[in-house]
Amino acid sequence: IATSGQTQSPKKPIRSQQRSKNAFSMQQIAKVLDKANKDDIKLLKDHWQEVIDHAKNNDKKSLVSLLQNSEPVAASEDHVLVKFEEEIHCEIVNKDDEKRNNIESVVCNIVNKTVKVVGVPSDQWLRVRAEYLQNRKHDQHNEAEKIETEPEQEDVAQKAKDLFGEETVHMIDD
């Protein structure tokens, strides 16, 4: 009996750590943020209470409890990023296809537009957003650096050819 108790105890903390790591996907969030625009988020924010009310009026209690303390924070033509107060609600939306499909169906009925719902925990949203912006800034910087470096290499090679002649200078690619 003591043996089974010992093997069960260590598993519980591991599960909770996995849950918080897997409650949301940075890749899914990045997909939404990459194409996010003001018109789509305004549309969804303006109608979000209607989405919740529609779930209430159609006796979808499990959806109401999920959506009650949620808020759309970013949206694109075909995705919406929803911030959830409870991390477990975020995890349910991201992992339970049936629940997510039900929410997407209600959203479609209200805004007359098909969107995929992606969840983010409220307490993680600002960190996730900052991380996304930092990565995007870093990627743009790397891209700009790459563009600046290539012409510079060509200029050096051309100067060498001009200085020493075509026959003397041999270009070798790394």
The pTM of this model reads 0.67
Mean pLDDT (the chain) is 81
Instruction: Count CB neighbours of 65 within 10 A.
Output: 13
Measured between alpha carbons, how far apart are the two ends of the chain, in Å?
Answer: 64
Query: pLDDT band at residue 169, thresholds of 50, 70 and 90?
Result: confident
Mean pLDDT of 93-102: 93
Mean pLDDT of 30-42: 93
| Cβ atoms of 83 and 122 closer than 8 Å | yes
92: pLDDT strictly greater than 50: yes
| Cβ atoms of 50 and 2 closer than 8 Å | no
Phi and psi (nearest 5°) for 172?
Answer: -125, 120
For the domain made up of 2-120, give the CATH fold.
Answer: GMP Synthetase; Chain A, domain 3 (3.30.300)
- Domain residue ranges in the chain: 2-120
Mean pLDDT of 30-53: 94
